[in-house]
Amino acid sequence: MSGEATRRPRTPRVDGFVAPGFEPVRDAFLANLRERGEMGAAFAVTWGGEPVVDLWGGPADSERGRPWRRDTLQAIFSGTKGLVALCLLMLADRGELDLEAPVARYWPEFAAAGKDRIRVVDVAAHRAALPGVAGRLSPDEILDPRHVASRLAAQAPETDPRAAVTYHPLTYGWLCGELVRRVDGRSIGRFFAEEVAGPLGLEIWIGLPAHLEPRVSRLVHGPDWGRRNGWDDAAFAADELLRRIWGNPELFGRGPIRWNEPRWHRAEIPGAGAIATARSMARLYGCLALGGALDGVRLLDRATLERGRRPVSDRFDPIAGDRQVFGVGFELQTDARALGPPQDAFGHCGAGGSVHAAWPSLRAGVSYAMNQMRDDARVDARAQALLAATYAVLARRAGGSG
């Protein structure tokens, strides 16, 4: 064999399937591996409740040479927030939680320090002015959601006006998770497991069972990780609010990735800690795209779901430097189209590039999960290529609607 032949790059392996007509989605997935620097990833789509795309490829652990397999699990970071939003809406659907009521109705301690008028919907839409925890918070404390919730209950709202219109990356989960516990008695992880994942047969966990740890993919930083917003040491030193939100403690820096540690996988971190397969996330959002029912399982009434995906907060986030739109916990579309082309898409993206969403007008659920974390662009080119290819196929089949 010639030297030129031996140097020819191998075609990356893509496993899984696409339904007839969805071949362009597989082509986009392969192009991610070949041309866009993708490492390990999975992408899945359901249409009308049926799986039509289920792809995976690349390494699940590049250090150990472990390939991505059908059962590989992936951390989805803020994709967790969409799961928590669903739990809140299910309790509202049952009449157990009033979204317009003060949080203190269900969690009396929360009324401390002038928070008696903050409503459930304010907490769910990232406008409670509690984007970070006051006082030093150690990484170990993050693993105890009840402890952090008690700290937030005693804390006064931030006086910095930016706090009321900025994303609550971790505190959203602790606040909403404690609300679920106060109303229902179960932790957010147990509620989701018993009321959502179990009935729909989903491999999604907020608090991973220890025996599943060998299936979890290992996260790595992309070459430009942590540079897009320019949050260096000087920025953290100069801005107390920024430091509370993203540096107390710093969990998304360029150092060792704590999110790879098994004890972090086992913990219930409801703002960012869920672990799932893309296949299951697409099935869940496919259920929501159909109005909240699938295969004889109804999670909630269609009207309640519509309430959840109606805009509650539409603002420019001065910390993130982007426009953000939220319903009751769900991320909604902006001009960036992070959730894919359809205007009516809702769901939630995750740190590093993952996207998980319902496309109601096309009766579809989509999920992209990956292990190389990037933040070098406003929207991730890898996800956008897959979402655009999926949309093109579905829009043609729907006669151009969506």
pLDDT per residue rounded down to tens, the chain (402 residues): 344 344 445 788 999 999 999 999 999 999 999 999 999 999 999 999 999 999 999 999 989 999 999 999 999 999 999 999 999 999 999 999 999 999 999 999 999 999 999 999 999 999 999 999 999 999 999 999 999 999 999 999 999 999 999 999 999 999 999 999 999 999 999 999 999 999 999 999 999 999 999 999 999 999 888 776 767 778 888 999 999 999 888 887 777 899 999 999 999 999 999 999 999 999 999 999 999 999 999 999 999 999 999 999 999 999 999 999 999 999 999 999 999 999 999 999 999 999 999 999 999 999 999 999 998 778 899 999 999 999 999 999 987 544
Q: Are strands 322-326 and 313-317 parallel, antiparallel or unpaired?
A: antiparallel
By annotation, the residues acting in catalysis are 78
Question: What is d(CA 219, CA 40) in angstroms, rounded to the nearest whole number?
Answer: 9
Question: What is d(CA 322, CA 226) in angstroms, rounded to the nearest whole number?
Answer: 16
**Closest listed residue to residue 259, CA positions, set 242, 244, 272:** 272
Looking at residue 6, its pLDDT comes to: 43
For residues 24 and 393, the answer to whether their CB atoms sit within 8 Å is: yes
Looking at residue 169, its pLDDT comes to: 96
Q: Are strands 74-77 and 274-276 parallel, antiparallel or unpaired?
A: antiparallel
**Inter-CA distances, 144 with 11, 247, 344, Å:** 45, 18, 36
Amino acid, single-letter form, for residue 75 = A
Looking at residue 4, its pLDDT comes to: 39
Architecture of domain 23-397: 3-Layer(aba) Sandwich (3.40)
Q: Helix 23-35 crosses helix 381-397 at what angle (to 10 degrees)? A: 170
Q: In what order do the strands lie in the sheet with 313-317?
A: 14-18, 50-57, 41-47, 364-370, 355-359, 346-349, 331-332, 322-326, 313-317
